[in-house]
Amino acid sequence: MKFSFGRSLVKAFRVQKKIGKLIGKAVEATRTKPKRTTSTSRPAKPILVETTAFGSNPGRLVMKSFVPTTRLPKNPALVVLLHGCGQTPESLDVATGFSKLAKERGFVLLYAQQKRANNSQNCFNWFRPSAVARDRGEVRSIKQMVEHICERHRIDRSRIFVAGLSAGGAMAGALVANYPALFAGAAIIAGMPFGSARDTMSALRAMKSGATPPPGGWGRPIAEISPEAKAWPAITIWHGMEDRVVKPVNALACVAQWLEVQGIAENSGRLEEKPWGRLQSWKITSELKVALYSVSNMGHGLPIKKRKSVTALRSGDPYVIPAEISAPAEMMRLWGLSRLRT
């Protein structure tokens, strides 16, 4: 009898618990009863669309893109963006507003994304020779993404631009070093010179203390990998003067690298003091070849123009920093990506 009573009691408790769950669900349903779906209340579709089949993808990266659905020119320009460590294409896009710029100015946007399986910090492996050698690893994957989107959307191949932040900035430099004819312009933001490291430890040392020039000078690693190159895209280098993650001396090494490979004398540049910092530029027959944007009072990140509502910006990506100059806006100007006429 005791055994039967105990079993019945357990059964009763289970039934009571089940009934309680059903009642709880019913109450919750009445509290969050969905409204009738309208055109304005439907969940927004993801802005960035992932493409899974774009080539052999030896670097095992993820391809994401944004293609404006209205007012896209017949042969649009392409902007390739590479995120920094700990970032995602989505976090970078929300903070910088590049997808909004793509809508306003009629260009296609391509994001390459790193996987944590490749790098635990979600960094592009700019310091691994196998990842940045021509037609191998991560640079090959990104080139395949570019080729895929060019064919699919009839991209104007004379207007392909690349920009990257931190590890993405170093990878942007590696892409131009390998495929100079592919790009019309590039921006290296808080990045590192190509060939400045061979593994994780040497990368960390270079970031903290400054990279040591290789034998033959900074231009040699690029000249060796692209000896046939006759022309190079305009390179802009951006760095915060207070950057403690990647020491600003690395920006000077980047400048030296791209000046050397193009045979431009360092003393031929022009220095200008700006409200936001210093601008050094080097031109050949009035055409910009290399520029260094040294942003005062800024740490490690990408500068974006201060807004009236700074709190909205602070809630976004920590490596997109309010400043007196906007890197995205300046890129649009330099690359000739103007607003579409209404």
Active site residues: 166
Q: Which of 253, 238, 255, 249 is nearest to 296 (CA)?
A: 238
Neighbours of 2 (CB within 10 A): 6
Q: Please, are residues 84 and 167 in contact by the beta-carbon 8 Å criterion?
A: yes
Burial-class residue 334 by CB neighbours within 10 Å (0-12, 13-18, 19+).
middle
Query: Number of C-alpha atoms within 13 angstroms, CB side, residue 226?
Result: 24
Q: Give the separation between CA 341 and CA 44, rounded to whole angstroms.
A: 27
DSSP state string for 243-301: -SSS-THHHHHHHHHHHHHHT--GGG-EEEEETTEEEEEEEETTEEEEEEEEETT--SS
Q: Give the separation between CA 198 and CA 196, rounded to whole angstroms.
A: 7
Contacts of 283 (CB under 8 A, 6+ apart): 270, 289
Q: Which of 170, 202, 177, 174 is nearest to 84 (CA)?
A: 170
Token pair recorded at residue 297:
């009072």
Token pair recorded at residue 47:
């802005």
Token pair recorded at residue 278:
């210093």
DSSP state string for 176-222: HHH-GGG-SEEEEES---TTS-SSHHHHHHHHHH-PPPPTT-TTHHH
